[in-house]
Amino acid sequence: MSAAHQEFATKWGLVIDIDKCTGCGACMVACQTENNIAPEKDASNKLRTLTWMNVYELKNGKEFPQAEVAFLPRPCMQCGNPSCVPVCPVVATDKNEDGGIVSQIYPRCIGCRYCMAACPYHSRYFGWFDPVWPEGMEKTITPFTSTRPRGVVEKCHFCHHRWNQAKDAARIAGTDPNNLPDGAYTPACVEVCPTGAMAFGDLKNPKHKVYELSRSKYAFRLLERLNTDPQVYYMTKRDWVRRQGDNYLPNEKA
């Protein structure tokens, strides 16, 4: 609720290797099915679609044959210092749980969209119309995550329900649900990525792959200068890609 920085014992994080991403969009599709996002009748206006996971295209701005592209999948960063949380007038979004996932409480949200104005990553989406599943397609709705009415804001939550499922599985197996092994909890996007560009785990747990990856010299986070302290890391060996991870004055080095 407060604007202050939040820290927890577990810190779920995503490390995305941009150099491995082909921009296939499987993560976007997986996210939409996993999270009960209704198919849109007309999705041609990309500023109106519900794409909690959205792949952006980056260009180096050069002409052929030097032209290069890169793809950057953008979920919610689950910021350590989220700009969206302190602004919500009704505490419909909060960062108050171990793991550090920024929650979104749909039945509480009044739909003022102030949080959307606050988030510089465009990670938040609004239900402009009632969600409608064409006949037969309602069978694809899963019971794991709630559907949203129109008029509220929604966003990526690292497939929070999968974390609950992983904890339940650990309890049944008699292991510690608060100390899950690497890979026990994986969001849908990470699971589906065909090139293995995404890794997920506890950024504070040395036994998890993301621990090392996030500390690599090739790792960086989007817009770090704004002090949002994201829990999503990106990796690249290409300087021009790295430079697009934040804003730099002409005389500054990335």
Rounded to the nearest 10°, the torsion over CA 244, 28, 219, 205 is 150
Residue 78 binding result from another protein, ligand SF4, none, given CB thresholds of 5 to 8 Å by partner type: ligand SF4
The letter for the amino acid at 71 is F
Among 49, 83, 165, 175, binds ligand SF4 (CB under 6 A): 83
Identify the three-state secondary structure at position 31: helix
Closer Cβ to ligand SF4, 38 or 88, answer by number: 88
* Cα 66 → chain centroid: 31
Would you say 33 or 49 has its CB closer to another protein?
49
Closest CA to 21 of 185, 241, 228: 241
Selected from 11, 155, 157, 160, the binder of ligand SF4 by CB under 6 A is: 155
Give least dist CB 179 to another protein, A.
Answer: 33
Integer Cα distance of 167 and 177 in angstroms = 5
- 112 lies in the site for ligand SF4, by CB under 6 A: yes
Nearest CB to ligand SF4, comparing residues 169 and 223:
223
Q: Which does 37 bind (CB under 5 to 8 A by kind): another protein, ligand SF4, none?
A: none
Rule CB under 8 A: say whether 249 interacts with another protein. yes
Shortest distance (Å) from residue 45 CB to another protein: 7
Structure tokens at 4: 């202050």
- Spell out the alpha helix ranges (H) of the chain: 26-34, 114-118, 160-173, 188-192, 209-214, 239-243
Angle at the Cα of 197 (from 191 to 203), degrees rounded to 5?
Answer: 80
Q: Write down the least CB distance from residue 178 to another protein, Å.
A: 28
Q: Please give the residue ranges that form the binding site for ligand SF4 (CB under 6 A).
A: 76-79, 82-84, 87-88, 90, 92-93, 102, 109-115, 119, 121, 123-124, 153, 155, 228
